[in-house]
Amino acid sequence: MSLGHGRTYHAIPGPSVMPDRVLRAMHRAAPNIYAGELVEMTASLFPDLKRLARTEGHVAIYIGNGHAGWEAANCNVFARGDRALVLATGRFGHGWADSLRALGVAVEVMDFGRQAPADPARLAERLAADPAGEIRAVLCTQVDTASTARNDIAGLRAAIDAARHPALLMVDCIASLGCDAFHMDAWGVDVMVSASQKGVMVPPGLAFVWFSDKAREAGRRADLRTPYWDWEPRVAAEQYYEHFCGTAPTHHLYGLRAALDMLAEEGLEAVWRRHARLAQAVWAAVGAWGQGGAMALNIADPAARSHAVTALRLQAPDGTRLREWCEHEAGVTLGIGLGMAEPQDPAWHGFFRLAHMGHVNAHMTLGALAVIDAGLKALEIPHGPGAVEAATAALAAG
């Protein structure tokens, strides 16, 4: 007997829950890719994607995942031998740095560990030590999906400006776009990378790169572009196929149209507030479980926590035991503790992540929290009482 039968909930941080409306929009025969409805519909995506990033700049769509988005951004901005400064706050900054290195960019990583955001003061200090302005760009994640640390992007831009440094600011919003507030232009971001399968609620397969005029100008000397990755034809296509350097990702585009409609109907500010409120319910629950010290949020400072996903630390191997119980006994799949320890290290089994990104509402988050609470009891994992009560009180408080 298992209580897991019924509609399951994959509370992993991507691919996230896909709305039926998105799936229905994709369920159709192959469209004409030369003229007609698809071509017209595609034109409507670009302005809406810019609204989503709060930018008047440009956006290119690629067939690819987040890694493809990194590589696209890299090729269009850098020349071989250029210098880049990556601020790592978990796992994904290191991944972006690897992509840069493989392309021949000289990368310096400033590592802020796995439990804190990047410190703007340290960035300002580092840039002050580069008076010739040789560092071309500063790169970071808005949210690191492994540590679930959220960076203060406006604060990092202020640090670059305070150092009077010309570096571009490039931000990975793959986990956070459509979850955490993001203002590309107001925050002085030059390049932003995201993908379809997290807050954007579309199956994996689309990568997006937004860029400012300044980045476009700076990129004219980039020598790493190949025809597929070049963002120029994609944003200034004369023929439809140039938007995608070949066949369009037809069905994903229909799914994206539906997802952007859903975000616009709810209102982006309301979408951000929904994610903030659900995150607060999660934090309240973990606060109660953590009385006695057996469990804690990975990020101590609430201002530096993601609103899309939450990483938790327990005594190993209780994280893995709990994940397995929730999946098999209750139909809730939690995320593994990615990048917090190596999988062969016993400590790896002391982490898990709960995603609350994208197409998620109060009943889903409260349900997941109550299931975790039941799992802690069933497995006799030490925890403080009153977590579900704390979560419902947090939501009721508004």
What residues line the site for ligand PLP (CB under 6 A)? 14, 65-67, 92, 141, 145, 172, 174-175, 195, 204
Q: In terms of residues, how long is the chain?
A: 398
Q: Which is nearer to ligand PLP, 289 or 351 (by Cβ)? A: 351
Shortest approach of ligand PLP to residue 92 CB, angstroms? 4
What is the nearest approach in angstroms of ligand PLP to the Cβ of residue 95?
A: 6
Alpha helices in the chain (DSSP H): 20-26, 37-53, 66-77, 92-102, 120-128, 153-162, 213-218, 231-235, 250-266, 268-289, 318-330, 362-378, 387-397
- Beta sheet of 9-11, edge-to-edge order: 9-11, 332-336, 351-355, 309-313, 296-297
Measured from the CB atom, the residue of 187 and 325 that comes closer to ligand PLP is 187
CA distances (Å), 397 to each of 61, 180, 278, 321, 392, in order?
40, 20, 12, 33, 8
Q: DSSP per residue over 120-182, as a string?
A: HHHHHHHHHT-TT--EEEEEEESB-TTT-BB--HHHHHHHHHHTT---EEEEE-TTTTTTS--
User: Angle at CA 155, nearest 5°, toward 190 and 153?
Assistant: 45
Closest residue to ligand PLP in the complex (CB): 66
Listed residue (126, 128, 135) closest to 106, CA to CA: 135
Nearer to ligand PLP, 42 or 65 (CB): 65
Q: Which is nearer to ligand PLP, 145 or 330 (CB)?
A: 145
Which CB sits closer to ligand PLP, 208 or 289? 208
Nearer to ligand PLP, 55 or 141 (CB): 141
Smallest separation (angstroms) from ligand PLP to the CB of 112: 15
Nearer to ligand PLP, 92 or 244 (CB): 92
**Dihedral class, residue 358 (left if φ above 0, else alpha if ψ from -120 to 50, else beta):** left
SS (H, E, C) 53-87: HCCCCEEEEEECCHHHHHHHHHHHHCCCCCEEEEE
Q: Least separation, in Å, of the C-beta of 282 and ligand PLP?
A: 17
Q: How far is the CB of 328 from ligand PLP (least distance, A)?
A: 25
Q: How far is the CB of 97 from ligand PLP (least distance, A)?
A: 12
Q: Whose Cβ is closer to ligand PLP: residue 105's or residue 338's? A: 338
| Least distance (Å) between residue 65 CB and ligand PLP | 3
Task: Supply the minimum distance, in Å, between the C-beta of residue 91 and ligand PLP.
Answer: 8
Report the C-alpha gap between 122 and 186 in whole angstroms. 22
